[in-house]
């Protein structure tokens, strides 16, 4: 009885992974972005920001496209 339940659960998870591997990966990425864990990539390094009066680096997330500016 116990062993049979375990087997059914394994089969269900296998089906989900087999059907939508890409969608699952995308969903995982979006979840990370929503939680604030972006995959930042330097878009423009050490650019002079007139407003702040100092050098800043522009970052963009490769998954959701969000940008942030960080002072050097
Ligand atoms: Zn992101």
- DSSP-assigned letters across all residues of the chain: -HHHHHHHHHHHHHHHHHH-HHHHHHHHHHHHHHTT---EEEEEEEEEETTTTEEEEEEEETTT--EEEEE-
Cα(24) to ligand 1 centroid in Å equals 16
Cα(59) to ligand 1 centroid in Å equals 11
Domain shared by 11 and 33, yes or no: yes
pLDDT confidence bin for 7, thresholds 50/70/90: low
What total of structural domains would you count in the chain? 2
Cα(37) to ligand 1 centroid in Å equals 7
Cα(12) to ligand 1 centroid in Å equals 30
Domain shared by 1 and 33, yes or no: yes
H helix or E strand, kind and range, residue 35:
none
Domain shared by 1 and 32, yes or no: yes
| Domain boundaries, position 4 | 1-37
Q: What is the pTM of this model?
A: 0.56
The tens digit of pLDDT for each residue in 16-58 reads 555 555 666 666 667 899 998 999 999 999 999 998 899 999 9
What does the DSSP 8-state code read for residue 66? -
Cα(27) to ligand 1 centroid in Å equals 12
Domain shared by 45 and 31, yes or no: no
């Amino acid at each position: 009885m116990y062993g049979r339940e375990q087997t059914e659960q394994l089969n269900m998870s296998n089906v989900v992974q087999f059907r939508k591997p890409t969608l699952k990966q995308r969903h995982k990425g979006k979840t990370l972005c929503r939680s604030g864990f972006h995959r930042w990539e330097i878009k423009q390094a050490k650019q002079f920001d007139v407003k702040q009066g100092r050098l800043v680096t522009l970052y963009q997330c490769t998954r959701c496209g969000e940008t942030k500016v960080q002072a050097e």
